[in-house]
Structure 1
């Protein structure tokens, strides 16, 4: 009530009148108070559930297409890391899906107003993302997965994709590849931009004039369709780098369906090593990122913030490039 009163510029008594539907405040004041309260997560008749807040429950809202969630191992690895951290205490994880930005914010407001969770893990950072500011305004502790963001109120836990991208291109260049196409994830994601910038910088430094990025959707169908378009061009590349292993598996099948030998005609690299990369033939060279470690670190940092501690941006251990049968010397054409 103190926070609502301060934001609305009224007394706490006026807030009580407004929220309880009592006389004593104007309609304009009542509407202003109710709107501010709603923004902070208050709902009519909402409970407090303080016992849940004391348990340190964590929340996570997933705002992605269902195909992107069910088609790849990323979320399984992330969940295993989070649960590995939570098993050391009494905390639990509450996950809820949201169909869009507004719905996601409503969930955060409700969780905060009812004190359902002590804090949240923020997924899929986007370019110009307003959610860190909005969560700070709501007053709900949060840790972002991705970054670094460089802000103390919403610390981030992140993996160094830039260094990994430089390593991949240096490896391909050493094999003689000069025409490399990267099949990226959605362009709006912050991690996509980070990798795109690293890809362009490394390609420029290595003199790869025929290196470019195209965008897809993280699904196997998206990877396959994009690969077909690329390889049907007049001058197809000699190497493809995919932003996740699901697109890489789809792209590998599409390339082989078009008659391209891998790696005889085309080298293929995947991001996020998993069993998928080892089960296909040839096995995919892949960047192994510490996804489970990311989840465990994020949960640990969020618990620290909920308990009143301070936290800064934290990096995981470095990704490792695993070389397998899908990459080889540039073909002679």
Structure 2
């Protein structure tokens, strides 16, 4: 037990939490923006996967890591716009459309990799490179703090800056006000001259871009190659963080960070004498527990409203 505490309290573990939480944070904020726009983005998983695959392939063939990252984010953004078009123009159910896009991404990325590289597993034979890390001058030699913060990938820093950015966007900008109004009462928003569909298209595009950053990090930051279905359910876990966080930026931030910590703990427990089958279930058990907590809180809130109205 003491060895477990030593692992959890170590600077290496804290640095791993920041690194592992990065895709959860970005995807969760993408899901939050979509929810605020009134359209659930179930396609986060597929957007992350498409961005990871496209980024690695383009970087490998072009020799430019920056071009690969931009192309990956652009691919996920287009999928966000496609989801918006399916929902708004064709009247498709957002859940069904999102599941369809996830299946398309899973099969499409596997087909693309096999066609281009004749490899069913991934792009390990292609040198795609990695996005740069950030070394903070002045604090890299500070005990613990320097070891945790210095040397993190640039997308990790973007992920943690996304929390104040989304909070500012929602509550300090006209677009954020319009976005929240459209998500809560679209008819009322339209009655005061807000272009509802334009706001929703923009929100889904931003949602896709954030998910794309998460995917690019997986194949060009966390590792330097793409592996088939490498998102491994992170998009769905990010959706759980959106609701567990109460659809609020800082709540979502804490929830996503918690899921990242759970996965980091699972990785560390794998080095100890703990059955690997038990270790692999930790992130998913925590997700189910978080959803159960969210459902309980929502049910309790629903009971409290009629009671207050009767007073």
Determine if the TM-score, normalized by the shorter chain, exceeds 0.5: no
**Structure with higher helix content:** 2
Q: TM-score, normalised to structure 1's length?
A: 0.25
Q: Could you say which structure has the higher strand fraction? A: 1
TM-score, with length taken from structure 2: 0.26
Bigger Rg over Cα? 1
